[in-house]
Amino acid sequence: MTEPRAARPALDLDDLADGVRHGRRAAVSRAITLVESTRTDHRVAARELLGRLSGFEARSARTSTTTGNAVRVGVSGVPGVGKSTFIERLGTQLTADGHRVGVLAVDPSSVRTGGSVLGDKTRMGALAHDPDAYVRPSPAAGTLGGVARATVQAMAVLEAAGYDVVLVETVGVGQSEVTVAGMVDTFLFLTLARTGDQLQGIKKGILEIADVIAVNKADQDHEGEAREAARDLAGALRMVGGHDEWSAPVVTCSGLTGDGVREVWDRVLAHRDHLGAEGLARKRAAQQLDFAWALVRDELADRLRRSPGVAAVRDDVRRRVLDGELTAPVAADLVLEAYDADRGVTP
Q: What is the DSSP string of 140-191?
A: -TTSHHHHHHHHHHHHHHHHHTT-SEEEEE--SSTTHHHHHHTTSSEEEEEE
Q: Which of the four pLDDT bands, split at 50, 70 and 90, describes residue 68? A: low
DSSP 109: B
pLDDT tens, position by position, 164-211: 999 999 865 556 678 888 899 999 999 888 655 555 555 456 777 889
Q: What is the pTM of this model?
A: 0.83
What average pLDDT does the structure give for the chain? 82
pLDDT recorded at residue 10: 63
As separate numbers, helices (DSSP H) first and strands (DSSP E) second, the chain gives 14, 7
pLDDT tens, position by position, 312-335: 999 999 999 999 999 999 999 999
pLDDT tens, position by position, 54-63: 864 333 333 3
